[in-house]
Amino acid sequence: MTPAPIAVALDAPDLETAAHWAALVTPHVSTVKVGLELYLRYGPDVIASVRGASGVSVFLDLKLHDIPNTVAGAAKAVARLRPAILTVHAAGGAAMIRAAVEAAPHTRIAAVTVLTSLSEADLGGIGLSGPAPDAVRRLAVLAVGAGAGALVCSPQEVAAVRQEVGDDIVLITPGVRPLGADSQDQARVATPEQALADGADLLVIGRPITAAADPGAAAATIAAQLRRKIATP
């Protein structure tokens, strides 16, 4: 059975829990995501721990954002861990994104456009010209032009971004919540089925799976629903 295009966000309190969650969900999903907190707490060891014997793809979500030389050094340092995906902030600019791409040639660099936690009011507060879909499209075009092979955007912008960048760029959508789930700290959300229909390639899902009584069963249920969606003409 082909794993579903889901990256489970392993936002765990400790390494053992993250590895346990990864083992439970790996039969059902294509990818596990390691975020900044877990990586800073445990360092490179976390990658091997969550990858396990399965060889599941690891999405290293560090959202690098610094001057090009510093980001290049950081990307080169983590590239040896063989993450399938590494994130940088598109707002760091074209030179920074290009530096990451060149420093980690065997890792797909994913540029984060506008965080899914930000509302329209938040964008104005940080001086980013909105509305959100326009800001996302501008950053997406900039990042792809600089060599990014993937983009991170909310499911509400994914259809417009797909139209803007074409079919060759991998679109990753956080802020995905199954119908009826709490949106929590995400401001721009959609269901997994809707995000996939709109053109997303990889859906980031965290707490709806990891906070379930049985994360493996929750992952299996969402994965089965997505496979049915993919199979339906």
Mark the binding-site residues for substrate, compressed into ranges: 11, 33, 61-70, 116, 177, 186, 206-207
- Which of 14, 66, 134, 182 is an active site residue? 66
Strand runs labelled E in 119-206: 150-152, 170-173, 202-205
Dist CA 20 CA 35 (whole Å)? 16
Picking from 180, 219, 179, the residue whose alpha carbon sits closest to that of residue 195 is 179
100: exposed, middle or buried (C-beta count within 10 Å: 0-12, 13-18, 19+)? buried
Q: Tokens 């995400």 identify what position? A: 186
Q: Is 66 labeled as catalytic in the residue annotation? A: yes
Q: Is 61 labeled as catalytic in the residue annotation? A: yes
Dist CA 48 CA 55 (whole Å)? 9
The answer to whether 110 touches 87, Cβ cutoff 8 Å, is yes
- The sign of the torsion formed by the CA atoms of 100, 82, 174, 186 equals negative
Largest CA distance in the chain: 47
Q: Quick one: angle between helices 94-103 and 132-145, nearest 10?
A: 50
Record the tokens describing residue 210, joined without a space. 């990891």
- Which of 14, 45, 61, 201 is an active site residue? 61
- Which of 14, 63, 76, 167 is an active site residue? 63
Dist CA 98 CA 46 (whole Å)? 27
Record the tokens describing residue 160, joined without a space. 């417009």
Q: Is 198 labeled as catalytic in the residue annotation? A: no
Catalytic residues: 61, 63, 66
